[in-house]
Structures are given as C-alpha cells and as structure tokens.
Chain A
Amino acid sequence: MTTIKAAGMTRREVYEAQQRKRSLIIAATSTLVVVACLIIFVPMSPGWEKVQRSFFNGDVLSDTFPKLLDAFKINLMIFAWSAPAIAILGLLIALARDAKSPALFPLRIFGAAFTDIFRGVPVILTVYLIGFGIPGLGLPRPWNSPYIWGSLALILTYSAYVAEIFRSGIDSVHQSQRSAALSLGLSERQVMRDVVLPQAIRNVVPSQMNMLIALQKDVSLLSFIGPVEIFRQAGVFKSLTANFTPYVGAAIIFLIVTIPATRYADYLMSKQRKDRS
C-alpha cells in the first residue's frame, strides 16, 4: 500500500485501480472461455465440415472478394446521391408539416399523407412498385433506368422517417428560444431558420446517423429490380461457384463500413447525453 501511495495516488484511486484490474481479469477470462467453447464445440457439430466448405471457403473468398468490392462501389454510388436528396426532402417535409399559414394548409396535408404512406409500406414493396411501375409507363432510355426509380423509392421511404426525426428535433428546441427570437422582432420564418433549425438539426445528428447506416444496407434492396450491386453480385458468384462464401464476403464488406459508422453514431449519442446532463 505504502509503495503505491508513494506514486501520488489517493486512497480512492488505489481502490479504483484494484477494482479496474479485477474487472479486467474477469472480463478477459470469461471472453476466453466463450471463444474456446466456440472453437471446440462448433466444429464438433455433425454438419460443420459442410458448412465450413460452403460458407467459409478461403479460395472462393479470395477469388470473389475483389469483384465484390467492385460491386460495392455501386452501393456507394446509389448511397451517395440518395443521402443528400433524403436530407433535403426530409427537411422540406418536416417544415411542410409544421407550416402554420392557412395558405400552406394543403402542404401540411401532403406532408402528413406522405409520411403516413411511406412509413406504412415495406421498403421492398415501394422499391417494387416504383422500380417496376414507373418504367412500365414506357419511358424512353435513360428514363426507364432502375437506378433512377429504385433510388427514388429509397429517397421517398427514408425521407418520411428522416422528416419525423427532424420534427422531433424542432420540438426539442425550447419554446423560450422562440419567445426570445420573436421579442427581438424576427419573423416566424427567420426564427425558424436562424434560431430553431440550427439547434434542431444539431440535436438529431446522432439519430440521423443511424438512418444513414440503415440506408447503406437497404441500398441492396435495389438488387431486386436490376442493378448488380454487391448482394446481386454475391448471388451471381454463389451460382457460379455453387458456394455461399460470396455472401459472407459481402457481409464482411458491409461490416467494414457499418461498424465504424455505428460506433461513431453511438459516440455522438453518448456525448450528447453527457452534454445535456
């Protein structure tokens, strides 16, 4: 004890250091036990060799992985143009739903109907209906492209959710901020633009990050209407190699992107919670 105290630690710090060491040892031991069990018992199951061959085949993985990465660029591309469109449309819908002037009443109804419809229908159904339906009108190239209409389906669906998150953000700005801004002579529109929205948007950044992550994954739904993105590409390789490993490869590629993004969103969330308390 005295030697540790010589290092300049208080009694509490000494106690806490011991506690930390203890929990570290317990956590490491229990993790080791679980991993060891997995390594020992999973291969003992009767179907393991078959599963290993068809899902975790190293040769298939190294053959297909670069091409899967190539196909993932299509996901990124669709994501890259959909995300800004969703942010803009979502914000406009949120503002439309909060519009107060009677002249804008139709806009309010439209906003409410929009969010009800697109939150109420499964994404895949919207993708099918818009992705097959609109090109079915007999539009000339390039206007019959599934890239356009598939993206539109994603944009409409996600805007509905994003709009609701923006609205909750607008509601989260305290009424006294509006009072203060109005008392200075600002118009309703200026109050919204200069005082309420900047705070509202900041408040919902973590939630919107989660929407972005979900969108990144849902881009794969477009594979059902044509674009050969990573999921579709993995399916092609599965047929060619008669092996499911390409799907595992696709999952790994998704995780490389989504895990850091999810961690970052969680970090923002906890930071915000700390800031508020």
Chain B
Amino acid sequence: MAKLSLRGVVKQFGANTVCDGIDLNVEEGQMVCLIGASGAGKSTLLRCINLLEAVEDGEIFLDGEDIAEPGLNPQGVRARIGMVFQSFNLFPHMTALENAMLAPRRVHGRSKADLVGEVKELFTRFGLADRMHNYPDQLSGGQQQRVAIIRALAMRPEVMLFDEITSALDPQLVGEVLDVLLMLKQQGMTMVLATHEMGFARQAADKVCFLKDGKIIEEGPPEALFDAPEREETKAFLARALK
C-alpha cells in the first residue's frame, strides 16, 4: 500500500479549478518531484495534502486512511506531515531552537528539557549547531531554510512536503539546502517536492510528475520523463526549463 495516495483530488478557488482530478501514489521512502510552470497547481496540491486547503472533491489516503474527509480535524494529520515553504516562514520572535521546539511542545506536550537533546542533534546534523540561538533575521536565507526543515523534522513527520524551497534563495545557497534533502532521502524519508530545480529532480527523484493546468499530464522515473517525454506539453515545458 502506498504511504500517500491521491484519488481525483479537485481544488477550486471560486470558478478557478487549480487542481483538476489529481491521482498520485507516493511509496514509503520515495522522493516524488512535481514540476511544471508557475500556476500549474503544484503548490496548491501540497497545501491540499497538508489540509491547509480543503479539497472540493477526491480522496487523500495517508496509510490508507482518508484524510480529505470533510469535517476531519486537520491537526492530527498536519502533525504527521511536515511542510517547508518557499519563503521559510520562520517565527521571527523566536530563536532557531525555539522555532523548532514550539510544535513538539504544544502538540505532543513534551517538555523543553525532554526535547532539547534531540532537537540540538538535528541542528548538529544539518550543520547549524552554532546558529541555534540566533534569531531568523540573523541567519542567511539558506540557513533559515535549513532551520525551517529542522522545525518540520522536530515533529518526527512520516511525510515531508517541500514547496519550492530553493526558489527564494541566492543561487550559491541553493546547494546547501538541496544537500539536506539528499540526506533525508538517504534516511528513508517520504518526500513530495514542488520544484524548479530540474537538475536536482533528475538526479534525486524516484518519480517525477509534470503538472499543467491542474492535471498530472505525465509521470515516470526521471530518466524516462526527462530524456524521453511522451507528451508534447512535457517536451515543450522541458525545452524551456532546461534551456
């Protein structure tokens, strides 16, 4: 059974259909990359999976349980699915360490003393041990984004969603964030990325999905999709993106 499975997911904003019947399977430990032009529905799809947006129709199964059920309390689901945003969205009034400890303390009711060891361990693992006590505005973009990843990981999520997390970074800082993703993949994290980093998707993804107008037009292993796309739309997009 797939870890995460979407069946006919539809999301509309007014008359605008942003996700138009999306089917997607993500196996345990897989890294799936969503590619496509801005406005194709990649970000909205991720927000739907994390229940930040309520879907109009369709089903989203997490370990076989339908989490898109209208009226379901989203908190429990969000605690199991981590999300990282393009603009970092760190809490500016807290240090990096406090950012990472807030949710486990509030949601899992754990004490600071109980948490601090394992959270510090995360900072060390991702090369930020000396930055834990800094406030977000004292960190570079790449460091902030890594803190945002640590903050999500501190909840011990089963699935991680990454919404164009390198798009707001200076080119020389992109690498340090992508390295973190590779480390997570090695540890077997299940991940879904919306990304414009074609090189990274090709190198690291287990599966790549091309979205256009709210639909997955084509999907497959990166070699197949990048080297031998079948659909004209995919070819046209890749021709522009890889130029």
- Of the candidates A176, A190, A194, the one whose C-beta lies within 8 Å of that of B89 is A176
| Alpha-carbon separation in the docked complex, A181 to B107 (Å) | 11
Residue of B nearest to A181 (CB): B91
Secondary structure class of chain A's binding surface, majority of residues: helix
Name which of A176, A179, A180, A185 has the most chain B CB atoms within 10 A of its CB: A185
**Of residues 172 to 222 in A, which have CB atoms within 8 Å of B's CB atoms?**
176-177, 179-187, 190, 194-195, 198-199, 202
Residue of B nearest to A190 (CB): B106
Is the beta-carbon distance between A184 and B92 smaller than 8 angstroms? Answer: no
Is the beta-carbon distance between A195 and B75 smaller than 8 angstroms? Answer: no
B77-103 CB mask vs A (1 if < 8 Å, else 0) is 011111101010111110000000011
Is the beta-carbon distance between A185 and B103 smaller than 8 angstroms? Answer: yes
Is the beta-carbon distance between A194 and B106 smaller than 8 angstroms? Answer: yes
B209 at the interface (CB under 8 A from A): no
Is the beta-carbon distance between A183 and B87 smaller than 8 angstroms? Answer: no
| Alpha-carbon separation in the docked complex, A202 to B148 (Å) | 23
Residues A182 and B87 in contact in the complex (CB < 8 Å), given A190-B106, A194-B102, A198-B93:
no
B151 at the interface (CB under 8 A from A): yes
| Alpha-carbon separation in the docked complex, A182 to B51 (Å) | 9
Residue of B nearest to A202 (CB): B93
Is the beta-carbon distance between A199 and B92 smaller than 8 angstroms? Answer: yes
Residues of B within 8 A of A184 (CB): 78-79, 82, 102-103, 107, 151-152, 155
B50 at the interface (CB under 8 A from A): yes
- Distance to closest chain A CB from B140 (angstroms): 18
B139 at the interface (CB under 8 A from A): no
B52 at the interface (CB under 8 A from A): yes
Residues A183 and B50 in contact in the complex (CB < 8 Å), given A176-B87, A194-B106:
yes
Residues of B within 8 A of A194 (CB): 91, 102, 106
Is the beta-carbon distance between A179 and B92 smaller than 8 angstroms? Answer: no
B103-140 CB mask vs A (1 if < 8 Å, else 0) is 10011000000000000000000000000000000000
Number of interface residues of A (CB under 8 A): 17
Residue of B nearest to A193 (CB): B106
- Of the candidates B75, B89, B90, the one whose C-beta lies within 8 Å of that of A185 is B75
- Distance to closest chain A CB from B92 (angstroms): 7
- Distance to closest chain A CB from B191 (angstroms): 15
Is the beta-carbon distance between A199 and B93 smaller than 8 angstroms? Answer: yes
Name which of B79, B81, B93, B151 has the most chain A CB atoms within 10 A of its CB: B93
B76 at the interface (CB under 8 A from A): yes
Residues of B within 8 A of A179 (CB): 47, 52, 85, 89
Residue of B nearest to A199 (CB): B93
| Alpha-carbon separation in the docked complex, A199 to B94 (Å) | 10
Is the beta-carbon distance between A186 and B106 smaller than 8 angstroms? Answer: yes
Residues of B within 8 A of A195 (CB): 91, 102
- Distance to closest chain B CB from A269 (angstroms): 19
Residues of B within 8 A of A176 (CB): 85, 87, 89
Residues of A within 8 A of B152 (CB): 183-184
| Alpha-carbon separation in the docked complex, A195 to B75 (Å) | 16
Residue of A nearest to B148 (CB): A180
- Distance to closest chain A CB from B47 (angstroms): 8
- Distance to closest chain A CB from B168 (angstroms): 12
Is the beta-carbon distance between A186 and B103 smaller than 8 angstroms? Answer: yes
| Alpha-carbon separation in the docked complex, A175 to B80 (Å) | 22
Residues of B within 8 A of A190 (CB): 106-107
| Alpha-carbon separation in the docked complex, A181 to B78 (Å) | 10
| Alpha-carbon separation in the docked complex, A232 to B188 (Å) | 77
**Of residues 4 to 52 in B, which have CB atoms within 8 Å of A's CB atoms?**
47, 50, 52
| Alpha-carbon separation in the docked complex, A95 to B78 (Å) | 25
B145-165 CB mask vs A (1 if < 8 Å, else 0) is 000100110010000000000
Residue of B nearest to A194 (CB): B102
| Alpha-carbon separation in the docked complex, A176 to B87 (Å) | 8
**Closest 10 A/B residue pairs (Cβ):** A185-B79, A180-B89, A184-B103, A183-B83, A185-B78, A185-B107, A176-B89, A198-B93, A190-B106, A185-B75
Given contacts A185-B75, A187-B75, list 16 more A-B pairs with CB under 8 A.
Answer: A179-B85, A179-B89, A180-B89, A181-B103, A184-B78, A184-B82, A184-B151, A185-B79, A185-B107, A186-B102, A194-B91, A194-B102, A195-B102, A198-B93, A199-B92, A199-B93
Chain B contacts to A: CB under 8 angstroms: 47, 50, 52, 74-76, 78-83, 85, 87, 89-93, 102-103, 106-107, 148, 151-152, 155
In the assembled complex, 9 residue pairs joining A and B whose CB atoms fall closer than 8 Å, in A order, are A180-B91, A184-B82, A184-B102, A184-B103, A184-B151, A184-B152, A184-B155, A185-B75, A185-B103
